Structures are given as structure tokens and as C-alpha cells.
Amino acid sequence: MAAIKNNKTLLALTSAALALPGMAPRTALSLDIGGLEIGDIEGGFQYSHYEEGDDRINADTYQGTVTLPLTGRLNLNGHWIVDAWSGATPSINVPSEVLGRPDGDVVQILTSASPETRVAFDLRAGYQFDDVLLEFGGGSSDERDYDSTFFNFRTAWDLNEKQTTLSLGLNYQDDDIEAVTRPDLHGQKSVYNIQVGVTQVLSKDSLITSTFGYTRSSGFLSNPYKRVFIQDLGAFFEQRPDNRNSWVWDTRYIRHLAAWDAALHLDYRLFADDWGVHAHTFEAAWYQPLGHDWQVVPRVRYYSQNDADFYQPFFTQEEAADEEFSSDHRLAGFGAISGGAVVTKDWADWLNFETSFEYYQRYADLEIGGDGESDFADYNFWLVNVAVKIKF
Amino acid sequence: MPLAHLTVIVCLILMLAACATPVKPWERGTLAKPHMAVDPSPTETGIRHHVFESKEASSGGLGGGGGGCGCY
């Protein structure tokens, strides 16, 4: 019994030691280049496919990432992404009377977008002091009609014997917007964002993390391809306000359930902006190890938003008089339910495989306190991912 | 967001912190398990958020920011 007890003690001490920063076992190749030790180089690749129902838009996304840990405290990370998408997307809504069907409905008209490709990359450097993490990053994204440059700063401060972590993030983004069908359009947009967060260990098997974010966007914030129908006048490009202030509060509770060695992740997110949009997101995921290094993660998500102040399915001349109008279905009031699962498998310490599937259904009727007015825009999509992570 | 809402949020966070039980470093074996991480699959989370943000009005506000449009 004494031996068993000692083994349990040793196991507990070993587990605790592994939980400390810098104490993870080194299992992969380490390089020594000019006295600079590079170890546990990690690489990852992910393929994702997105597809909407009714033969609407579909997209393929390829991502790669490389992490170089230098000197045990300095990490360099590079990430690239390539998107390619094509298919039909909503362009305008018209009252059914316009189409000779006087039934009082709204008809959503889709147009086929030409195939598009986006190429993006970002670089990040992080330095871990004993109790403070500093990270600097930046990158760019290029599309035929949308270029973006962005910079990030993030710091995290461990307190209270690492039971509490405070974090601060600052982000800046500068975008240039054009439209293939509007050669005279040259829009510009700036986005400033600040985030403050706290992560608190609640007990030996639970923790909570909460983050508050504020974002100010200014410049050309419209979608250059979306149109609105104004009765007796016809179709016009949408016009959103030139500024947007938004706030988001996200809280996640994580609890380990010893009977199943499972982890329950519960997430709630509240969003509000000065366009009149309020949104709630609830998400639950159950991380269940299955033995032999397999894991399955079923999850479900519910989302609800109300419509923006300047949204209408279509407009009368009086409604459009204030020169701020949009019929973009993403600014309508609606709810959505989605669910799926993630399956992961570890091979040894150096190879990890992950695949996931998610199905999403938009239902106007699921909006909290809504009237289902935008049900003409309901649709569904599914998203599948396949990812491989390797330690070289 | 009204200041009162922000005050309530801060108070809730402080109350939760006050409820915490002290956990010594050698008692954190469970918390160190991969599936107890705040985000066990950040790359997969990234593509999910990118899709949701291009389909819903409550875009951005958290995460690293940037990344262009890609709003299919």
C-alpha cells in the first residue's frame, strides 16, 4: 500500500510540475543554431469546406501555421490562409408585387458572384517573462476588391500564484475596399479594438474566463455589392453609417467531470452596438476522451440578434429619406441553431489529427423577442474541417 | 452599452473571483489537461469565428483582429 500511495503522490507531483510553464517534457527534435536553441518546432495544416444549401455559395479554405520556440521564452509564429469561394449570394429583396405576385411576401434575389480568392498571412512574436507575456503581431490580407493590414499587441499578467490572469489586447486594422462592379468606388475603413480579460482558477477542476471588448470602426462600412429596393424609385446601393461602436462581453466556464474525465465548456457572449444590434450567443461543448488518445467533442450553439436601426427588407421613399438604409439579411433580426462534433486522435507525442463537422440553420422565428419577419432569408450551411499538427 | 451594464459585469467577475478556492500549484494536474484549455483548438476556432462573423451582425470584438474580409 505504501508503494501505491507513494506512486500516487509522485503522479500528483509530476502532474503539477507539468502544469508549470516551461516544465513540459521535450520529446521532439531540438536544433542549436549559432547558440540559439530551437526546439519543439510545431507545424499545422488545416483544410475547411463551407457549403450553403440550395446550391448557394461554397468555399474552400487552406491554412498553415508554424511555431518556433526560441530560448524557451521567445516564440515566433507564422500563419497563412488561402480562401477560394464561388456561387450565388443574396443581393436585394423586392416585394412580391414587383414580380407580379401580389401575395404580400418579400422575395430575396440572389446573384452569382465571380470566383474569388483571398490570400492572408500574419506573424507573431511572444516573449514570456516569469509572470508576464508580451505578444506583438501583424499581417495583411489581399483580395481582388479588399485589402487589409493589421497589427496586434497582447499582454497577459499572472497573479495570485498563477490562479488569476489579467489580459489586455490592442488591435488596429486598415482596410481598402473596392468593388468589381463599381470601378469608381475606393472605400477606406479603420478599426480600433481594445480587449480586457480575466481568467480565474475557481477550484482544482474548474476555471472561468471573461473578456470585454470595445471596437470602433469608421469609414466605408457598407457592403459595396448589396442593394436596397426603394418603392417607386428602384434599386440603390446600401448606405450604412460611417461609424460603428460595438461592445462584446464573452464569458466561458470550464469544468472537469472526474467520473468521465470529461470537460464541459459553457460559453455566453453578449454583443451590442450603436447601430441598434443586440446579440446573444450560447455555446456548450463536451470534451470526452475515449482512450487510446481519441477524443470526441459534441457541441451545440444558439445565436439570436435583433435588426439594425436602418434595416428593412425594402424601403418606402419616406423610410429611405434619412439616407441610411440596408437590406442585408445579416443585419435583420433572426436566430440560428448549429451543432456538430470534433474528433481528435494523437499519435505518439508528435502527430495530432483533428476533424470536425458543423451544421448551421438560420431561423428567423428563433430570434429572442422577434416576429420572424425575415424568414424569407432563412438558409443553412455546413462546415467541415480536417487538420494535422506535427512536432518536428 | 450603458455604464450600468459594464458595472454589473465587473461586479459579477469580482464576485466569481471571490468565490475561488485557493489551488496550490501541485493541485493543478486536472487544470493542465489539454481539454481544460480555454481554447483547445485555436485554428479550428478561427475558421468557425470567421464564418460566423461573415454571416451574423455581431462581428469581431474579440480575438486577434484583422484578416480582411473573405466574407463569402
pLDDT tens per residue across span A232-267? 999 999 999 999 999 999 999 999 999 999 999 999
Helix H or strand E encompassing A140: strand A132-143
What is the ipTM metric for this complex?
0.86
Task: Closest CB to B58: pick one of A65, A175, A277.
Answer: A277
Set of chain B residues whose Cβ sits within 8 Å of the Cβ of A122: 64, 66-67
DSSP label at residue B42? H
Interface contact flag, B68 A15, Cβ < 8 Å: no
pLDDT digits (tens, 9 = 90+) for A168-202: 999 999 999 999 889 999 999 999 999 999 999 99
Residue A11 pLDDT more than 70?
A: no
Provide, as residue numbers in chain A, all residues whose Cβ is less than 8 Å from the Cβ of B23.
Answer: 163, 201, 203-204
Q: Residue A102's pLDDT is what?
A: 82
What cell was used for A247? 461592445
Q: Greater confidence, A254 or B20? A: A254
- Among A19-23, A67-71, A161-165, whose mean pLDDT is lowest? A19-23
Q: CB distance A143–B13 less than 8 Å?
A: no
Say what the alpha-carbon torsion angle A379, A107, A222, B56 is, to the nearest 10 degrees: -20
Tell me what percent of the residues of chain A surpass a pLDDT of 70. 90
What pLDDT digit, counting tens, does each position of A300-354 carry? Answer: 999 999 999 999 999 999 999 988 999 999 999 999 999 999 999 999 889 999 9
Phi, psi of A305 (to 5 degrees): -140, 150
Please check whether residue B58 touches A, CB under 8 A. Answer: yes
Is the model's pLDDT at A7 over the cut of 70?
Answer: no
Report the greatest alpha carbon distance in chain B: 48
3-class secondary-structure state, position A299: strand
A134-158 pLDDT, tens per residue?
999 999 999 999 999 999 999 999 9
Nearest to A249 among B9, B26, B67 (CB): B9
d(CA A209, CA A283): 14
Query: Chain A residue with minimal CA distance to B39?
Result: A265
Q: Which of A302, A320, A311, A249 is nearest to A276 (CA)?
A: A311
